[in-house]
Homo-oligomer: A and B are copies of this chain.
Amino acid sequence: MEYPSQNQIVSAARRIAFGIHRTPVLQSAFLDNRFESVLFFKCENFQKAGAFKSRGAVNAIFSLNDKEAQKGVATHSSGNHAQALARAAALRNIQAYIVMPENAPQVKIDAVKGYGGMITFCKPTLEARESTLKKVIANTGAVEIHPYDNLKVIEGQATVAMELLEQQSCLDVILCPVGGGGLLSGTALSAHYFSATTRVIACEPAGADDAYRSFKSGKLIPVINPNTIADGLLTSLGKLTFPIIRKFVDDIVTVKEESIVEAMRLIFERMKILVEPSAAVPLAAVLEKRVDVKGKRVGIILSGGNVDLNHLPWQ
Contacts and interface: CB of A to CB of B under 8 A. Distances in A.
A312 B309 CA distance: 9
A217 interface: no
A269 to B, nearest CB: 7
Interface residues of A, number: 18
Contacts of A50: 272
Interface string A290-313: 000000000000000100011010
Contact of A273 (B269, B274, B310): B274
A86 to B, nearest CB: 15
Chain A binding site: helix, strand, loop or mixed by DSSP?
loop
Contacts of A269: 309
A315 interface: yes
A276 to B, nearest CB: 10
Contacts of A309: 265, 268-269, 312, 314
B45 A272 contact: yes
Contact of A274 (B268, B310, B314, B315): B268
A24 B310 CA distance: 28
A48 to B, nearest CB: 8
B46 A272 contact: yes
Interface string A253-265: 0000000000001
A305 B270 CA distance: 10
A272 B272 CA distance: 9
A305 B272 contact: yes
Interface in A162-179: none
Given A268-B274, A272-B274, A310 B305 contact: no
A265 B46 CA distance: 16
A274 B315 CA distance: 17
Contacts of A274: 268, 272-274
Nearest to A270: B50
A50 B273 CA distance: 12
Nearest to A46: B272
Nearest to A265: B309
A272 to B, nearest CB: 4
A314 B305 contact: no
A195 to B, nearest CB: 25
Nearest to A267: B274
Given A24-B24, A50-B272, A273-B274, 7 more contacts: A26-B46, A46-B272, A269-B309, A272-B273, A274-B274, A309-B314, A312-B312
9 contacts: A24-B24, A272-B275, A272-B305, A273-B273, A274-B274, A309-B312, A309-B314, A310-B315, A315-B315
